[in-house]
Chains A and B, each alone.
Chain A
Amino acid sequence: MAIVILRRAGMAIPTLLGVTLMIWMLLSILPGDPLVGLLAPDATQADRDRLAHEMGLDRPLPVRYVAWLGETLTGDLGFSPFRQREVVELIQNAWRNTAILAGASAVFGLTVGMLLGTLAGVHRGTPIDRVVTGSAIVGLSVPSFWIAILLLIVFSAQLKWLPAGGIGQLSEGIVPFLKHLIMPVLAGSLTTIAITARVTRASVVETFQSEFVDLLRAKGLREWQVLLHVGKNAISPVLTTSGLQVGYLLGGSVLIETIFSWPGLGQLVFNAIAQRDLAVVQATTLVIAVTFVLLNLAVDLLQATFDPRIKRTA
């Protein structure tokens, strides 16, 4: 098992390097003047060159990448000229808040999705299956930001049950904390529920068609015992999609956090985009992408514990 972990972790390193290269390229080479927001409107070409030199923008590209990577690895994510703060500082708090929201959405979305998917898979072809499958395609198609607005209309504007935005501090009690969490979690996890339910259903249905299920029944096992076997065999694609889902929740947080004024990475990115504060966009994208890669690594390892073929042959 230790070897599997090492090998998988080793495989993640080139991916992570690729991620840093891509993010750096996106925001360093692509059109869009990085100095535009930093210079006074009446700046001369000389001011411009001086600032470019100070920021190291006149060096060759590979040198700039390596220098940037070195800084990034030592935890220096740059400085936000708009907010006059170190980007690391900005990100730390926001990361915690996003983790709370994305984590809660993931737990809720994956649990409900797996339950619904299993239910539909076990009762395939029945009305239960049709209701779940039909709801899943609705959940898959519905834009999360629209659901967010519908929730706001109903629960905030009309019924006035829930606060329209912001984050509740746990120190102020669990109830306000949860009240702030409900709508963002519901809006964000709808797609997760839908995709997880679809993948789970497909995997359960396929596993039920395996011959070993016939043997389990032929052995006289009770139906719940058969279901346990099917579950352990069907979990692999569900785990794979779970890792992806959490990543999508992190990406989708830009929309959800903006709508619900949740002070997380997403809102940070949204504001930074509006201000063309590329240092913050770059750093935030990097943090989310690295989290995503590490999450998928964790899912990979988790899969190995469910499937002996990975554990013993890797």
Chain B
Amino acid sequence: MTSAAPTFTGTAAEAWRERDVPARPESYLQAARRRFMQNRVGLAALGVLGMLVLSAILAPWLTTHDPTVGVPAERLLPIGSAGHVLGTDEQGRDMLTRLLYGGRLSLIAGLVPVLIATSIGTTLGAVAGYLGGWVAAVIMRTMDMFYAFPTVLLAIAVSASLGPGLKNVIIAMTIVYIAPIARVAEAATRKVVVAEFIEAARLTGASTVRILFTQVLANIFSPIFVYASGLVGLSIVIAASLSFLGLGVAPPAAEWGFMLNALRGTIYVNPWVAALPGLFIFAVSISFNMLADAIRDALDVKG
């Protein structure tokens, strides 16, 4: 804001017009990336998750004890014991070892159902939303049936009828998540289908399948990704719940929910060791939930 007389005509105007305006506005994904990188909570959650996942993968190299065979003489050692930093369990197995190994099954049981259910649910929802009519009615009314059950109960019922085992836990939870993801996908697709670019694709003679897989999927990605990432935290807890109830892995395998149940009887003897597996479930779950919140904010999706 100079009040002095200018020496060159048009300098002020030129200077203003050439002020640091970005040459090209950033794309949606660039903006999302920038917003995510500015979210300290989200980054911290990602860091914690990275560490937990890595230590689960590298468990055989990070630990010195056998995860399944214990030393009976070293049963129920408290936290901080020599050679057993996090103590030992009721069979004298090293807790740190079992917790790291346990992460493998717990993370798989929590993540895999969300991944499978997301692909199936998205397909169902996108088909229903795109085609509408009786196809949509059949698909979506069937999905509604699943809503008549509380999530945990449905998972328990399916899992119970399939019989115990990690594979069955994964199947049961997949069934549980298909319906809500299909709903999100259907609503998002209906919003997209009326958009002009879909009409344009149709006019150029693209087939239904092609349009579904290119145009529609690309445009319903954000809401589904946000929803599914929000499910992971819950999924970890439900998977652990099923194991806790004895529906998951069989002994002597290590899995957090199962370990928590096994140590339940020792809370009067060695309380804080008994609480450890739950702490790990909680740490993973809250990290995923915080990460999901950060993703939602970054992608700028409501809900």
A residues apposed to B, CB below 8 Å: 14-16, 18-19, 21-23, 26-27, 30-32, 137-138, 140-143, 145-146, 149-150, 152-153, 156-158, 244, 247-248, 250-252, 254-255, 258-259, 269-270, 273-274, 278, 281, 285, 288-289, 292-293
Q: Cα distance A141–B154 when bound, in Å? A: 20
Q: B161–A15 contact, CB under 8 A?
A: no
Additional 7 contacts, C-beta under 8 A, given A269-B156, A293-B148: A32-B162, A137-B289, A141-B288, A146-B278, A252-B150, A258-B245, A278-B160
Q: Cα distance A250–B148 when bound, in Å? A: 13
Nearest B residue to A246 via CB reads B150
| B92 / chain A contacts, CB cutoff of 8 Å | none
| B247 / chain A contacts, CB cutoff of 8 Å | 273
| B148 / chain A contacts, CB cutoff of 8 Å | 15-16, 18-19, 22, 289, 292-293
B residues apposed to A, CB below 8 Å: 141, 144-146, 148-154, 156-158, 160-163, 233, 237, 240-241, 244-247, 257, 260, 264, 267-268, 271-272, 274-275, 278-279, 281-282, 285-286, 288-290, 293
Q: Cα distance A152–B160 when bound, in Å? A: 27
Q: B145–A142 contact, CB under 8 A?
A: no
Q: Cα distance A243–B272 when bound, in Å? A: 36
| A138 / chain B contacts, CB cutoff of 8 Å | 286
Instruction: Report which of B158, B233, B260 forms a contact with A141, defined as CB distance below 8 A.
Output: B233
Q: How many A-B contacts are there with CB distance less than 8 Å? A: 142
Q: Cα distance A161–B102 when bound, in Å? A: 33
| A269 / chain B contacts, CB cutoff of 8 Å | 156, 160
Q: Cα distance A145–B157 when bound, in Å? A: 18
**Known contacts A137-B290, A142-B285, A251 near B163 by CB under 8 Å:** no
A-B contact pairs, 14 of them (CB 8 A): A18-B148, A30-B162, A141-B285, A143-B240, A143-B281, A146-B282, A149-B274, A251-B150, A255-B241, A269-B160, A273-B245, A274-B246, A281-B157, A289-B150
Instruction: Report which of A153, A156, A157, A251 forms a contact with B151, defined as CB distance below 8 A.
Output: A251
Q: B237–A141 contact, CB under 8 A?
A: yes
Q: A281–B160 contact, CB under 8 A?
A: yes
Q: Cα distance A259–B265 when bound, in Å? A: 10
Q: A141–B275 contact, CB under 8 A?
A: no
Q: A32–B163 contact, CB under 8 A?
A: yes
| A18 / chain B contacts, CB cutoff of 8 Å | 141, 144-145, 148
Q: B278–A157 contact, CB under 8 A?
A: no
Q: A140–B233 contact, CB under 8 A?
A: yes
| B290 / chain A contacts, CB cutoff of 8 Å | 137
**Known contacts A32-B162, A150-B278, A254 near B289 by CB under 8 Å:** no
Nearest A residue to B271 via CB reads A153
Name the residue in A19, A31, A146, A273 with the highest tally of chain B Cβ atoms < 10 Å from its Cβ. Answer: A146
| B279 / chain A contacts, CB cutoff of 8 Å | 146
| A254 / chain B contacts, CB cutoff of 8 Å | 152-153, 156, 245
Nearest CB of A to B84, in Å: 20
Nearest CB of A to B234, in Å: 8
